[in-house]
Amino acid sequence: MSEDRLFINAAGTIENVAFGDYRCVSIIRSFPGSHRSKHWHKTDSHLLYVLSGGMYYWERALDGEYGEPVYYGAGQSVETGPNVVHQAYFPLETVLISCSRNPRDHESHESDVVRVEEPWLTIAT
């Protein structure tokens, strides 16, 4: 972790988890064995920072195929831009911080998200 991400002094630590222009910061809790996403955003992008637990995360171009999943555990993050289909599988109870560039009230989110009809991806655990 670079020096600008972690500050340590006698009082403890400060860990910067995201740098950028964000309009919404959310806490997302996911149950073991659950799935999320299976969609893409027209203009929004988001950074997902794993506080605890972990997730398998897939991305693909709108006209592409998924690659191998990437596992993100506590202290790791992934940023996904617009026009990128993504989905996640949570083998463990997981808590994420989501930092989004667009507002995430229901109306704003729904006007920007496009859900895809395809099978959920998963990992044998």
* Domain with residues 20-115, CATH architecture: Sandwich (2.60)
List helix spans (H) across the chain: 106-112
SS3 content of the chain, % helix, strand, coil (to 5): 5, 50, 45
The pTM of this model reads 0.88
Domain boundaries, the chain: 20-115
pLDDT (tens place) for every residue of the chain, 125 residues total: 345 778 888 988 888 888 889 999 999 999 999 999 999 999 999 999 999 999 999 999 999 999 999 999 999 999 999 999 999 999 999 999 999 999 888 999 999 999 999 999 988 76
Phi, psi torsion values for 64, nearest 5 degrees: -110, -170
Residue 112 gets which letter from DSSP? H
